[in-house]
Structure 1
Amino acid sequence: MELMLNWLLLIVPFVGFVLGFGVLKRLNNLYYALKLGKKWDELPPGDLSWPLIGSTLSFLKYFTFGPPDGFIRDFSRRYGKIDMYKTHIFGKPTLIVCKPEICRQVLTDETKFIPSYPTSITAVFGKKSLLQVPKEEHRKLRRLTMAPISGHAALEMYIDHIEHTVISGLEEWSSMKKPLELLTTIKQLTFKVIWNIFMGSTPIKSTSIREMETLNENIALAFLTLPLNFPGLPFHKALMVRTKIISNTNVTKCR
C-alpha cells in the first residue's frame, strides 16, 4: 500500500504537469484563432505551442545542437510535407516558408510583405539601425554601405588583398600540428577579409581582430535567442557589446 502511494505521489504531479502544458498549448492556439477570426482558417497547418515561448525552445535546440533541418522535419512528420507551416518563435506568431519560389516572393514583393525582424535583433541594433529606418532611407543607406564591395569594378580593387589573405591563411593552417575546426577557421578568415575591406589596409594586431571576432560572435548569438536581459545570457552580452561599440565610437569622434 505504501509503495502504491509513493508511485502515485510521483505519477500524479507528472501527469498534471503534462496535462497542464497541453491545456496551455490549446489555449494559445484558441487565443489566436479567436483573434484572427476567419483568417485563421486560411493559415497553413502547424502548432503555436505554448504562450509567449511558442516553439522557440525547440527551434534553439535544433539550431544549437543539430541537425538544423530537424525543426522543419518535425513539422513535416506531423502535418505532411507542404510549402508552409504556422508556429510561434521569438515571441511572435510566424509562418515558416519552405518553397524557394515563395521565399523569393516574400523577399522581393515589398507591396505585400513588410520586412520585420525578431525583437532580439532590433533591440541589439537599435532604433536608428539600417534594419529599422523607413523604406526609402533604407535603400539609400544600403547603396552607401554596399558601395565598397558592389560590382566587379569595386571587387577588382580587393582581389590582391583577398588572394594574399587566403594564401597566408592556408600557409598558417598547413603549418599547424593540431586539427582545425573547419567552420570556425573559415569564418575567421572571412571576417579578416571583410574587416580589412571596410576598415582599410592600416596594419592591425591579430589580437585586435580576435577581439572584434568575439564581439561579433556575441552579437550574432543574440539573433537566435529570447530577448531576456539577464547577466550571462546571450541577449544581455550583445547589449553590452553594443553599449561598448557605441561608447568607443563616441570617444573616437570626440578625439
Structure 2
Amino acid sequence: MSANPFLDPTLVHGDLYRGDGRLADRTHALHRAKISGSDVADTIAGLLAARVPAGADVLDIGCGRGTTTLRLADRLRPRQLVAVDASAALLRTTRDRLGATGALGSVVCADFHHLPLPDSAADAAVAAFCLYHSPTPDLAVAEIARCLRPGGAAALVTKSLDSYAELDHLVQAAGLDPDATSRPSLYESFHSGNLHTITATHLTVLDIQHEQHVFHFADATHLARYLTTTPKYRITLTGGILALATTLKQRLAPPPYTARSTVSYAVAVRP
C-alpha cells in the first residue's frame, strides 16, 4: 500500500471514488472557501477554444463529476464529446448532468493508461486533476497523445506539491495527526514542478500557466467539512464533523483558516 492515498489503487478504486459523495462534498467546501483564483473549468475551456476547430472531437479524461465536461460542451460545441473516468459512480453523475442540460456527450468507463479509443480519434483532450493518481503519469500522457490527431491540443492540469500545506500545520497543531506535516503531498506524482517535463515526453508544450488560489474557511465547521473529505491525514477522532469541529475550535486560534494552492495548466499539441 502506498504512503500516498492518491497512489494507492485499493483506495482509488475503492473508498475514494466508489461513490460521488466525497468528491462532491470536497468541491463544495472548497468553492465556499475560495476567495481568489479563476474558475478552472472556464480557464480550461478558454485555453482550448482558440486551438480547437468548430465541430471538433473532444475527450475529457478523468472527468470526475463532469464539471469541466459541461463547460467544454457549452464553450466548444464539439461534434463529439467523450467523458472518460475509471469510476462508474462519477460517470453516472456526469451522464446525468449532461442529460439535465441537454448537452450532447457520451461516457466511457476506462483506465487512462489504456483508453479504449482508436489512434488519432480526437482533436482535443483534457486531463484535469487526475494524472496525480498515476505512479507513471508519463504513460498516461503517451496514451492521451496516441488518441490525439497530429496537431491536436491537450490541456493537462494539476496542483503544486505544497497545495493546502497550511492545513497540514493546523491538523498537526490541533493534535489530530502528529505526522500531518511530514506526510507526502497528494500531488507528488504529477505536480506543478514536473508538469512541463512529463507533458513534454510525448507532446510539444506550447504554454505553462500557474495561478494561485486562496481559500478562507470561515469557521471550524467549514474546515471540518473539508478535512473529512481529504484522505491525506490519519485522523482517528470519532463523532464525525461535529466532533471534529469542536476539537478544532478548542485547539486552534480563531478563524478564518487560510490555505493556498497553485493550479497549473499545460497546453500542448501532438507533433
Whether these two folds match at TM > 0.5 is no
Q: Which has the higher helix share?
A: 1
Measured against the shorter chain, the TM-score band is: under 0.3
Provide the TM-score with structure 1 as the length reference: 0.23
Larger RCO (alpha carbons 8 Å, 6+ apart): 2
Structure exhibiting the larger radius of gyration computed from Cα positions: 1
Provide the TM-score with structure 2 as the length reference: 0.22
